[in-house]
Amino acid sequence: MTTLKCIAVDDEPLALGMVAAFIEQTPFLELVGKYSSGVQALRSLHEHPDLDLIFLDIQMPELTGLELARVLDRGQPGTGPRIIFTTAFNQYALDGYRVDALDYLVKPFSYEEFLRAATKAKAYAEHNQAPLPAPAAPAEEEFLFLKVEYELVRVALDDILYVEGLKDYVKVHLRSATRPLLSLMSLKSMEEKLPARRFLRIHRSFIVALDKIEAVRRNTVQIGPATLAVSDQYKEAFVQFLSRWT
């Protein structure tokens, strides 16, 4: 049976004790440490290089859970421990997506809810076990070139907020500019250029950068000052994205 080595991190003693107790009563989890701050947890990672899973509070002094997750996310993708956030505030779900958290538990949570998240971590670990290392994936480009008027303009993917289709043109709205770039191409062609892991088409006229979404309402998303509709044609893919945090 797969056994996951875990640590619990929370600055509230009662919450830390509860998570530690839940870990200890779960047969496929092994508690190797519990810490009251993100700084202590970060130091412990050097002592436990084979750590599989972190149950991590978000709001903590010195180093928040999100800050710790971003530090871990800078390493080689897929090689570090996975994270399950534990927090009293559900507004951090989208931030959890941005650091690729495995799950998100809102306090107070029951052992049943904890076990569901832990089982998800176990399934992930078993799915990713392989007898031979997988070949390295080609590095994803961090930019693309767009034809704007009579020149090719290099655009960083991280700078794109959303793309708007206008018949034979696209408007590329950028974080760094007040005016969008206008390029002669179809929205379908633009969709093919953008990595599906980071961008999603939500409407016949819109492609959005997933990590730039600030709020989600019933049939719209908010990106900066723009409110963009999610059409029925693309709602299923968008709901699948949201289901990770509901």
Which of residues 69, 96, 128 is at a domain's end? Answer: 128
Is there a domain that residue 228 lies in?
yes
Please check whether residues 155 and 91 belong to one and the same domain.
no
Please check whether residues 201 and 116 belong to one and the same domain.
no
pTM over 0.75: no
- With b for 16 or more beta-carbon neighbours within 10 A and e for fewer, the 151-173 pattern comes to eeeebebebbbbbbbeeeebbbb
- Tell me phi and psi for residue 197, to 5 degrees: -65, -25
The β-bridge relationship of strands 151-156 and 143-148 is antiparallel
Number of domains the chain is built from? 2
Please check whether residues 62 and 118 belong to one and the same domain.
yes
Q: Which pLDDT belongs to residue 69? A: 82
Please check whether residues 13 and 119 belong to one and the same domain.
yes
Which of residues 128, 159, 185 is at a domain's end? Answer: 128
Nearest to residue 155, comparing CAs of 122, 194, 113?
Answer: 194
Residue 211 to residue 222: CA distance in whole angstroms: 11
Please check whether residues 94 and 57 belong to one and the same domain.
yes
Tens of pLDDT along 98-125?
556 788 888 889 999 999 999 999 988 8
Confidence of residue 167 (pLDDT cuts 50, 70, 90): confident
Please check whether residues 15 and 40 belong to one and the same domain.
yes
Q: Which pLDDT belongs to residue 102? A: 81
In this prediction, residues 14-35 reach a mean pLDDT of 96
Tens of pLDDT along 35-93?
999 999 988 888 888 899 999 998 888 888 888 888 876 554 456 788 998 887 655 44
Tens of pLDDT along 179-222?
999 999 999 999 998 998 899 999 999 999 999 999 888 789 99
Is there a domain that residue 133 lies in?
no
Confidence of residue 235 (pLDDT cuts 50, 70, 90): confident
8 Å CB contact between 52 and 81: yes
Which domain CATH number covers 218? 2.40.50.1020
Is there a domain that residue 136 lies in?
no
Is there a domain that residue 194 lies in?
yes
Please check whether residues 122 and 158 belong to one and the same domain.
no
Residue ranges making up the domain that contains 62: 4-128
Is there a domain that residue 138 lies in?
no
Is there a domain that residue 109 lies in?
yes
Please check whether residues 167 and 75 belong to one and the same domain.
no
